[in-house]
């Protein structure tokens, strides 16, 4: 079903909407629904496939493929328990891709298309939008609106590598659309997308080489990045860090990337190449310059803490701002933008306790400041690092890959940040979000009751680790 079949697209001539929302992804829908719930009339303007990045080409398709790869790996890893053996393999790659596509289509229908008729105040319009002195131009029509919210999202960035234009390279989108399973893959970029997809393809049988200019997950704590690098290598991923890209070219039906390491050239060859070097805000064709809307050096629309752009009456939210490019932050920022546009700009964007997750295995999750960031802000810091071999849950699972690191202020004992590397780390980080949000100290966290034989109990041990050797505690002690 097309989104245009489910709602009104005409009858708006001469009508002034309270808000025009440009972009029909997670941020756009959040803004439109929030405004409609406030009783506003909303023009929601989409272009292309409704639903945006997350449901169509990002979170949903990648995470279901990652889970499939985990199932494969889990069967083979059963031998860590004495007396067990198992194996699994890909029997039909195309069927796996088709199942992923079916999930995407189902969620797009239920969470986007089917929602539109539920909000009488929302009129969906399809077309390429640009800012106009009278509102928003959608193709050859002009939509009058009192306020405008830009929520056009982002797209995979194009890395600056000589020769790339002449090579058939994959993005995070097209890599998940491959109907033929690649025998070998070169992944360029060591951020969260690169790490996730490199491991996923390796677990499904692809020979993977992951290359990056600096190190894996440069925004993560160094202990966590180093450990994850080891774990990927243990699974057969060749990880190359601290290098420069010289050129890339086609060579006998394959792709050849020449890198420079310590002044020496080396060529890496693979069947396919996947570039995962970040995302670029979608601002082309919007007419931002002519409208007086400033754009940052990273291409994002500049907004203040109230989600206002440099042009009065125009707001922006989500990936198009070039910051906090997570779907939940896009939805959060868009909700604030809509409420501020309608009610007087009273709400401020706050990302101080924004959680983030990398869906590798072990998962990486964090919130708050790293140790380096805390020191840069003038804190006298203290840190506690607890390896998972001190966490009973990990011992029972016979999987002690990972660690937990907490950062606190020496003077006040207040917690400043946390990062977790653990097979179930993603579901534990929200505890630290609440701890930071409500200003807990390490002492308070260490004295909190946690359930035994859970991954989250590791946070209690890490908090206790500021003042004692947790290896000398009995089970549930403290």
Binding site residue list: 63, 152-154, 189-196, 278, 319
Cα 261 from Cα 285, distance rounded (Å): 40
Q: Pairing state of beta strands 122-126 and 42-46? A: parallel
Question: For residues 130 and 8, is the Cβ–Cβ distance under 8 A?
Answer: no
Cα 411 from Cα 344, distance rounded (Å): 39
If you search the block for the tokens 């931002």, which residue do you land on? 288
DSSP alpha helices (H): ranges in 208-257?
Answer: 222-234
Measured in Å, how far apart are the chain's first and last C-alpha atoms?
A: 57
Question: For residues 139 and 127, is the Cβ–Cβ distance under 8 A?
Answer: yes
Burial of 341 (0-12, 13-18, 19+ CB in 10 A): buried
- Sign, CA dihedral 90-92-95-101, equals positive
Residue ranges for the known binding site for FAD are 63, 152-154, 319
Residue ranges for the known binding site for NAD(+) are 189-196, 278
Q: H or E stretch including 255?
A: strand 254-261
Helical packing angle, 192-203 and 59-76, nearest 10° = 40
In 277-301, which positions are buried (b, 16+ CB within 10 angstroms) versus exposed (e)? bbbbbbbeebbbeebebebeeebbb
Question: For residues 458 and 420, is the Cβ–Cβ distance under 8 A?
Answer: yes
| 188-to-104, 170, 213, 241 alpha-carbon distances in Å | 26, 10, 9, 10
Per DSSP (E only), the strands in 290-430 are 314-316, 356-358, 363-368, 381-387, 403-409, 415-422
Cα 89 from Cα 205, distance rounded (Å): 8
């Amino acid at each position: 079903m097309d989104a245009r079949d489910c709602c009104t697209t005409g009858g708006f001539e001469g009508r002034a909407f309270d808000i025009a929302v440009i972009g029909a992804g997670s941020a756009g829908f959040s803004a439109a629904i929030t405004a409609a719930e406030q009783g506003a009339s909303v023009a929601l303007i989409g272009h292309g496939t409704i639903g945006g990045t997350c449901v169509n080409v990002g979170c949903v398709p990648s995470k279901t493929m990652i889970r499939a790869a985990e199932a494969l790996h889990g069967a083979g890893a059963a031998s860590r328990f004495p007396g067990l053996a198992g194996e699994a393999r890909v029997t039909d790659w195309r069927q796996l891709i088709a199942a992923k596509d079916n999930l995407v289509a189902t969620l797009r229908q239920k969470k986007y298309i089917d929602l539109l008729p539920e909000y009488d105040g929302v009129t969906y319009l399809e077309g390429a939008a640009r800012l106009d002195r009278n509102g928003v131009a959608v193709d050859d029509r002009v939509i009058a609106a009192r306020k405008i919210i830009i929520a056009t999202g982002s797209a995979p960035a194009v890395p600056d590598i000589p020769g790339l234009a002449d090579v058939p390279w994959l993005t995070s989108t097209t890599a998940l659309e491959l109907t033929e399973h690649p025998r070998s893959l070169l992944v360029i970029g060591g951020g969260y997308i690169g790490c996730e997809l490199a491991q996923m393809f390796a677990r499904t049988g692809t020979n993977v080489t992951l290359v990056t200019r600096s190190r894996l997950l440069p925004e993560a704590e160094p202990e966590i990045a180093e450990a994850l690098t080891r774990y990927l290598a243990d699974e057969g991923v060749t990880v190359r860090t601290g290098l420069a890209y010289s050129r890339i070219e086609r060579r006998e039906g394959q792709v050849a990337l020449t890198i420079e390491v310590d002044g020496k050239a080396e060529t890496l060859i693979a069947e396919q190449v996947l570039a995962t070097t970040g995302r670029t805000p979608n601002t082309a064709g919007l007419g931002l310059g002519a409208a007086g809307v400033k754009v940052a050096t990273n291409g994002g629309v500049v907004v203040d803490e109230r989600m206002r752009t440099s042009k009065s009456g125009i707001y922006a939210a989500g990936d198009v701002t070039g910051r906090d490019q997570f779907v939940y932050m896009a939805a959060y920022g868009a909700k604030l933008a809509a409420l501020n546009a309608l009610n007087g700009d009273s709400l401020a964007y706050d990302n101080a306790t924004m959680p983030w997750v990398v869906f590798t295995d072990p998962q990486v999750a964090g919130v708050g400041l790293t140790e380096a960031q805390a020191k840069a802000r003038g804190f006298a810091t203290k840190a506690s690092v607890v390896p998972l071999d001190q966490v009973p849950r990990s011992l029972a699972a016979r999987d002690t890959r990972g660690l937990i690191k907490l950062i606190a202020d020496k003077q006040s004992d207040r917690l400043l940040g946390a990062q977790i590397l653990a097979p179930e780390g993603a579901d534990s980080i929200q505890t630290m979000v609440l701890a930071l949000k409500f200003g807990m100290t390490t002492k308070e966290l260490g004295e909190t009751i946690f359930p035994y034989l859970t991954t989250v109990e590791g946070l209690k041990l890490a908090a206790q680790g500021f003042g004692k050797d947790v290896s000398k505690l009995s089970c549930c002690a403290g």
